[in-house]
Amino acid sequence: MIEVEHLTKKFGDLKAVQDLSFKVEKGKIWGLLGPNAAGKTTTMRILTGYLPATDGKATVADYDVFEQPNEVKKITGYLPENIPLYPEMTVSSYLNFFSEIKQIPTSKRKEAVNRTIEISGLESVRKRLIKNISRGFKQRVGLAQALIHEPQILILDEPTTGLDPAQIIEIRQLIKSLKGKRTIILSTHILAEVTQTCDGVVIINEGKLMASDSLEKLTASYEEREGIFIRLRVGGKEKVSLFESISGAENVSFEDDGFKIEWTKGKDIRDDITKIIVDNELGLIEMRPLAMNIEDLYLKVISGGVDQ
Amino acid sequence: MKNIWAICKKEIKTYFTSPIAYVAITVFLVLVGFFFHSLIWWFNSQSLQMSRNPYYFQQLNINQMVYSPLFHNIGIILLFMIPFLTMRLFAEEKKMKTDELLYTAPISINQVILGKYFASLFVLLVMFLLTGILSIFTFAYGNPELSPILSGYLGLFLMGAAFMAVGIFFSSLTENQIVAAVLTFGTLLLFWVLNWASFSAGGIWKDVLNYASYFQHFDDMTRGILDTTDVVYYLSFSFLGLFLTHTIIQSRRWR
């Protein structure tokens, strides 16, 4: 659905994006991850047709962004980083304006505005001037603007910055509810956001691609150790030494009312662990694999330990 | 066309939901009203004096004695007011970053520019229509000729339109509205007085400077004479302003 090939953007001598390539499949949510000034916003601006690239190719739904920008713009919804709003307009007139310039036919405009207001939960502020509504509502108005023409593609630049935790969750749910129907790229530096909303991730740093894959594959390929978390009916911290005695067990710890046990990839010790539990009649309540933490993954990728 | 109308509607709404248009129109009308009052008063006193002499009385002409100087004054008021009406148009979009949404919507830069331009012309039109109230008095108590008044208004409108285009151009250059207004005002004033330099210039430059100055074109118009050269001059001025705006916006994307 979205394909970026060898994209490069220079501002004078500064290379904001260098030889960036990635692919996003239809109906998926992908996160664009990277530290500040990594080139996330520039990449998004190129995809939306706001900035021309210096080199390379970008296709959105089979339309070339540089050859057919108008076709791309028709099917793309874009929420820039600092939500652009007209403070002197009311919420509904703002949305009505965008329904007009996004080529929604006159007869369907009213319906589109009403539907968008409903989806984004703006009913209570629709008649108010944008300058007088709260930050959370402003963010929703921005998102509503991106959604109004029911675009196939949504490009959201840091959609949750500056919101309080409850608002973050609401916006995330709103984004998640669009999953499947739309292909979404969102940029963020909140790592939890990626694990909670995204199917895959593109990690960039200093304009270069560091990694790009689905979340499971990425974590799997960067994990050197595997581990499990177990919870037992009998016993607490004192049982740590019991598991430490297993040959190959590493980093055994007692956390969150359970045990974390790791081992080097390939040397599975799960059989030994179950044996100990059964032999000592400890009563297994819960057992699950420990996935590698997205924070660890991110830091690892950014610090350059990558050859992808 | 629909896109131009969408932009135009939005700009007109912004003019009239914020105080800008009301303040500008009110100040404009107060000033025009003051000039009109003074001119009428002067005309009346002249009429009174000349009523004793039938020959001179024949020479009295309300078009020449009231409307011509009034149009001149309106032209000068526009020179001061228009920079404030246009300074917002692009500078604000850039400051609020809303231009990013305009240029990622399926509309062209030309449509955005024209939409904004037409909105500014609408405000100009409202200003002129409201000054029409003054003419009710002159027609009720005197007998002015209509056609020079209309062509005077048309000329003024064309000049105002050219001023707006200059203002839009400077608004597209900066995200600071004050800077846009000051540059617009400076440029308009410079073109107004450009013919002064023609006194010292020689040869072809004399003609060039004379042609480039608003003043020359404006002077005929206040008397109700609308020459095609003047019309062409104002239209090409507007076109140049809007064309340069397009160039600026386009080139900014490519930097």
| pLDDT tens column, A26-57 | 888 999 888 888 888 999 999 998 888 888 98
Q: Is the pLDDT of residue A215 over 50?
A: yes
Q: Which residues are bridge partners to A254 per DSSP? A: A259
Q: Is the pLDDT of residue A21 over 80?
A: yes
The single residue listed with the structure tokens 């713009």 is A73
CA distance A70 to A57: 16
Selection from A169, A165, A170, A171 nearest residue A184 by Cα: A171
Q: Which amino acid is at B26?
A: T
What pLDDT does residue B51 have?
80
Among A14-18, A169-173, B178-182, B216-220, the range scoring the smallest mean pLDDT is B216-220
pLDDT: which is higher, A223 or B104 = B104
Strands A29-33 and A200-205, by their bridges, are: parallel
All CATH 3.30.70.980 domain ranges of chain A, comma separated, are 224-291
Cβ count within 10 A of residue A279:
9
CB A284 within 8 A of CB A230: yes
DSSP string for residues in chain A: -EEEEEEEEEETTEEEEEEEEEEE-TT-EEEEE-STTSSHHHHHHHHTTSS--SEEEEEETTEETTT-HHHHHHHEEEE-SS----TTSBHHHHHHHHHHHTT--HHHHHHHHHHHHHHTT-GGGTTSBGGGS-HHHHHHHHHHHHHTT--SEEEEESTTTT--HHHHHHHHHHHHHTBTTBEEEEEES-HHHHHHH-SEEEEEETTEEEEEEEHHHHHHHH-SEEEEEEEESS--GGGHHHHHTSTT-EEEEEETTEEEEEEETT---HHHHHHHHHHTT--EEEEEEPPPPHHHHHHHHHTT----
What pLDDT does residue A305 have?
52
| SS3 track for A256-275 | CCEEEEEEECCCCCHHHHHH
Q: Is the pLDDT of residue A301 over 80?
A: no
Among B8-22, B80-94, B200-214, the range scoring the smallest mean pLDDT is B200-214
CA distance B88 to B167: 9
What pLDDT does residue A278 have?
87
Mean pLDDT for A78-88 is 90
Q: Which two tokens stand for residue A208?
A: 């270069």
The total domain count for chain B is: 1
What pLDDT does residue B184 have?
96
Among A196-210, A216-230, B32-46, B58-72, the range scoring the smallest mean pLDDT is A216-230
| Residue pairs spanning A and B at CB distance below 8 A | 67
Per CATH, domain A224-291 is 3.40.50.2300? no
Q: Which two tokens stand for residue A74?
A: 């028709």
Range of the domain at B116: 2-254
Chain A residues whose CB is inside 8 A of the B20 CB are: none
Cβ count within 10 A of residue B205:
12
Sign of CA dihedral B96, B99, B101, B102: positive
Among A113-122, A235-244, B71-80, the range scoring the smallest mean pLDDT is A235-244
Q: Is the pLDDT of residue A294 over 50?
A: yes
- Window 34-63 of A: residues touching B by CB (8 A cutoff) are 45, 48-52
Q: Is the pLDDT of residue A307 over 50?
A: no
What pLDDT does residue B11 have?
94
Q: Do B18 and A97 touch (CB under 8 A)?
A: no
Best-predicted range by mean pLDDT (A258-272, A293-307, B144-158): B144-158
Chain A residues whose CB is inside 8 A of the B17 CB are: 88-89
C-alpha dihedral, A147 to A150 to A154 to A155, nearest 10°: -50
Helix (H) or strand (E) holding B9: helix B2-17
Instruction: Provide the pLDDT confidence category of residue A306 given band limits of 50, 70 and 90.
Output: very low
Q: Which residues are bridge partners to B72 per DSSP? A: none
Give chain B's mean pLDDT.
Answer: 89
Q: Do B6 and A100 touch (CB under 8 A)?
A: yes
Sign of CA dihedral A72, A74, A79, A84: positive
Give chain A's mean pLDDT.
Answer: 85
Q: Do A84 and B98 touch (CB under 8 A)?
A: yes
Using a CB–CB cut-off of 8 Å, the residues of B that contact A are 2-3, 6-7, 9-10, 13-14, 17-18, 96-107, 253-255
For A89-110, letters b (16+ CB in 10 Å) and e give bbbbbbbbbbbbbbbbeeeebe
Cβ count within 10 A of residue A74:
17
Cβ count within 10 A of residue A251:
11
Q: Which two tokens stand for residue A172?
A: 């995330």
What pLDDT does residue A225 have?
72
- Window 82-111 of A: residues touching B by CB (8 A cutoff) are 82, 84-89, 93, 97-98, 100-103
Strands A208-214 and A225-232, by their bridges, are: unpaired
What pLDDT does residue A146 have?
92
Mutation target to probe the A interface, by most A beta carbons within 10 A, among B11, B92, B97, B100 is B100
CA distance B188 to B166: 8
CA distance A148 to A77: 8
pLDDT: which is higher, B203 or B13 = B13
Among A76-80, A114-118, A124-128, A235-239, the range scoring the smallest mean pLDDT is A235-239
Q: pLDDT > 70: what percent of chain A?
A: 95
Q: Which amino acid is at A182?
A: R
What pLDDT does residue A304 have?
63
Mean pLDDT for A127-139 is 91
- Nearest-by-CA chain B residue for A89: B14
CA distance A186 to A179: 12
Distances (CA, A) of A99 to A105, B7, B104: 8, 12, 13
CB B224 within 8 A of CB B148: yes
Is A131 part of the contact surface with chain B (CB cutoff 8 Å)? Answer: no
Instruction: Provide the pLDDT confidence category of residue A291 given band limits of 50, 70 and 90.
Output: low
Is A80 part of the contact surface with chain B (CB cutoff 8 Å)? Answer: yes
What pLDDT does residue B82 have?
95
Chain A: give the shortest CA distance to residue B83, in Å. Answer: 21
CA distance A50 to A107: 29
Let me know how many helices (H) and strands (E) chain B has, helices first.
13, 0
What pLDDT does residue B172 have?
95
Residue B203's region, left for phi above 0, alpha for psi from -120 to 50, else beta, is left
CA distance A88 to A86: 6
What pLDDT does residue B131 have?
94
Mean pLDDT for B236-252 is 93
What pLDDT does residue A292 have?
60
Q: State residue A120 phi and psi, 5-degree precision.
A: -90, 5
Quote ipTM for the complex: 0.85
CB A154 within 8 A of CB B104: no
| CATH superfamily of the domain spanning A2-220 | P-loop containing nucleotide triphosphate hydrolases (3.40.50.300)
CB A195 within 8 A of CB A30: no
Q: Which residues are bridge partners to A33 per DSSP? A: A188, A203
All CATH 3.40.50.300 domain ranges of chain A, comma separated, are 2-220
Mean pLDDT for A129-155 is 91
